[in-house]
Amino acid sequence: MSSMTGAEAMVRMLQLHGVKHIFGLCGDTSLPFYDALARLDHGITHILTRDERSAAYMADGYARVSGRVGVCEGPSGGGATYLLPGIVEANESSIPVLGITTDISTTSRGRYTLTELDQEALYRPLTKRTEVIDRADRLPEAVRRAFRSMTTGRPGAAHLGLPFDVQQGAVAQDTVWADEDLGRYPARRAKPDPELVEQAASALTSAKLPVFVCGGGVVIANAMEELDAVATTLGAPVATTVSGHGSLPDDHPLCLGVVGSNGGTPATRDVLAQADLVVFVGCRAGSVTTERWRHPAQGTPVIHIDADPQVPGAIYRTQVSIVADAKLALQALRDSLMLMQPADGARLVREAKEKKFLEFEELSLKSDFPILPERIVATLNEVLPRDATVVCDPGTPCPYFSAYYRFNEAGRYFVSNRAHGALGYSMAAALGAHYGRPHTKTVSVMGDGSFGFTAGEMETLVRLKAPVMMVVISNSSYGWIKAGQKAGFDKRYFSVDFSRTDHARVAEAFGVKSFRVETTEQLKPALIAAAQHGGPALVDVIAQPLHEARAPVSEWVA
């Protein structure tokens, strides 16, 4: 029977699952895998990164916008530990990212071999599935298990360890096969229990003002049309979490926008407070969304729809819990709703948005120095195409873009790493998103703190000539934490300020087209030029520090 090496089988298994891009960084233990990638004809592009953290964030950004599994790789030891932050973020955000780490030979274990570490133990608590493949002949089934695990049920990340000798071992050709459908997510969608759908439909029909709160699960399940149909039939406002942004387009008459402590505003919270029935869809109802489990108030009747059986009932007592794919559940709900008198949700949404945008618009017109975050958001919104993808880091970008940027397309056009909110995500995730949706503009918006975490990746952007645009909100501080010291610790500012970097000059040294903006007159022309530039471009904006801004943030410690 003909055979191939473990490394070759790994490449073929990825190819058979429809993988087109791998983000990663080389290492000693990866040599056979790299050699197989170099020799075989597989149609996969390897994107060499400058840090494994970035590789994982790229795979995450790619997966979020493409609906396909993102793949990243790194070598044993430091590679395996550096890949971890992105794997964790993806796993907790229900995004299927496969992290492949090569490893020392199985025969070298326990002998103080350079880079040895227990990869399975490292990844086990942080992934849906991890497996260090100890035998080459078991490699194909291990890869199939990883893809099944990542894309079915609640999607998430997986890890595969690939020891050096396993990469060189023999794999029988006929064991190398895959179900290509598992390269996309969500795969093998679960249908809702029809009886529970009937109960939910009847509760919705008798509610005066049902309000939806949608998490990332709606966009992940591509359930936007079904949500629109159900909400429109009911006349129900639709609020979202940060990750749920895009469940309805922002210009939809029922789209209330983001609620919660990061991007929510009193006006949006007021609408939620009026609900006599809240429907969580694809949403964990975590601390940020619910402003520490207070909004909606405990005791509000709740219907909870989620792919993960652990989620409904975890935070709120539910009237009906439906464990199913969001698209199938909303479809079933749509088909079960009788003709009814819809609620006047559109009016409530309109009034709340008028209130919310009144102050924002006033501030966005100010020509203050340093430039107000409101001005940056409003100008970017004016300048960028409707279908641009905006990837936001924590700090100033996340709450401001959550609250005020109008994403008028349904779907994943706003990306933020909301599971852990680690700094330094957006530049790499934006590059991944660019590969996931190459024909639309991708923009990364970061604080200067995040810039410091990720600046080295500009070499990758330049080498690849990627037309990714970056905006740095420069305030020479870890602004979010400084704001927390102001709000909760009597302005005892401690170890939160750093010196001003000239980010435009740093970017220029990498070969990035760059602009420094100090005045509001410079802002729009620079943003237009950067958006139109055919390669990577960066706009460094000297901005109002977050602790002085009127940020849409109700809790600094969420």
The answer to whether 551 touches 483, Cβ cutoff 8 Å, is yes
Among 74, 75, 286, 449, binds ligand TPP (CB under 6 A): 449
Who's near 380: CB < 8 A, 6+ residues apart? 390, 405, 443, 445, 471, 527
- Residue from 401, 435, 436 nearest 417 by CA: 401
Q: Do β-strands 170-172 and 3-5 pair in parallel, antiparallel, or remain unpaired?
A: antiparallel
Between residues 67 and 399, which has the closer beta carbon with respect to ligand TPP?
399
The interface region with ligand TPP, picked from 33-41, 166-174, 230-238, 388-396 by CB under 6 A, is 388-396
The amino acid that residue 65 corresponds to is V
CA–CA distance, 403 with 378 (Å, rounded to integer): 11
By beta-carbon proximity to ligand TPP, the closer residue of 127 and 544 is: 544
CA gap 255, 247 in Å, rounded = 9
Q: If binding is defined by CB under 6 A, does position 478 make contact with ligand TPP?
A: yes
Closest approach, Cβ 370 to ligand TPP, in A, equals 12
CB of 131 to ligand TPP, least distance (A): 28
> 356 in helix, strand or coil?
helix
Instruction: Report 413-442 residues binding ligand TPP (CB under 6 A).
Output: 421-423
Among 447, 467, 536, 552, binds ligand TPP (CB under 6 A): 447
Q: Which residue is nearest to ligand TPP (CB)?
A: 447
- Residue 288 CB, nearest distance to ligand TPP (Å)? 13
Residue placing its CB nearer to ligand TPP in the complex, 284 or 547: 547
321 forms bridges with which residues in the sheet?
304
* E-only strand ranges, 407-475: 414-416, 442-447, 468-474
**Residue 61 binds ligand TPP, judged by CB under 6 A:** no
CA 485, CA 472: separation in Å to the nearest integer?
23
Pick the binder of ligand TPP from 215, 395, 411, 467 (CB under 6 A): 395
24 or 447: CB nearest ligand TPP? 447
Alpha-carbon torsion 420, 425, 426, 428, what sign? negative
Region near ligand TPP per CB under 6 A, out of 6-14, 304-312, 375-383, 469-477? 469-477
Nearer to ligand TPP, 113 or 501 (CB): 501
**CA 115 to the chain's CA centroid:** 31
- Given the complex with ligand TPP, which of 224 and 423 has the nearer CB atom? 423
Distance of CA 551 to the CA centre of its chain: 21
Per-residue contact string for residues 480-499; x = within reach of ligand TPP by CB under 6 A? xx------------------
**How much is the CA Rg of the chain, to the nearest whole Å?**
24
Q: How far is the CB of 478 from ligand TPP (least distance, A)?
A: 4
- Minimum CB distance to ligand TPP smaller for 248 or for 553: 553
Burial class of residue 280 in the structure, from the number of CB atoms within 10 Å of its CB (0-12 exposed, 13-18 middle, 19+ buried): buried
Distance of alpha carbon 192 from alpha carbon 95, whole angstroms: 22
Stretch near ligand TPP under the rule CB under 6 A, chosen from 107-115, 309-317, 339-347, 472-480: 472-480
CB of 92 to ligand TPP, least distance (A): 14
Distance between CA atoms of residues 29 and 142, nearest Å? 19
The reply to whether 87 sits near ligand TPP by the rule CB under 6 A is: no
For residues 17 and 547, which CB has a smaller minimum distance to ligand TPP in the complex? 547
What is the rounded end-to-end Cα distance, in angstroms, of the chain?
58
Binding mask 319-338 for ligand TPP (x = CB under 6 A): --------------------
Stretch that binds ligand TPP, among 42-50, 361-369, 460-468, 479-487 (CB under 6 A): 479-487
Nearer to ligand TPP, 444 or 450 (CB): 450
Q: What's the CA gap between 229 and 232, in Å, rounded?
A: 5
Separation CA 334–CA 314 (nearest Å): 26
Cβ distance 283 to 306 under 8 Å? yes
Q: What is the contact surface with ligand TPP in residues (CB under 6 A)?
A: 394-396, 421-423, 447-450, 473, 475, 477-481, 546
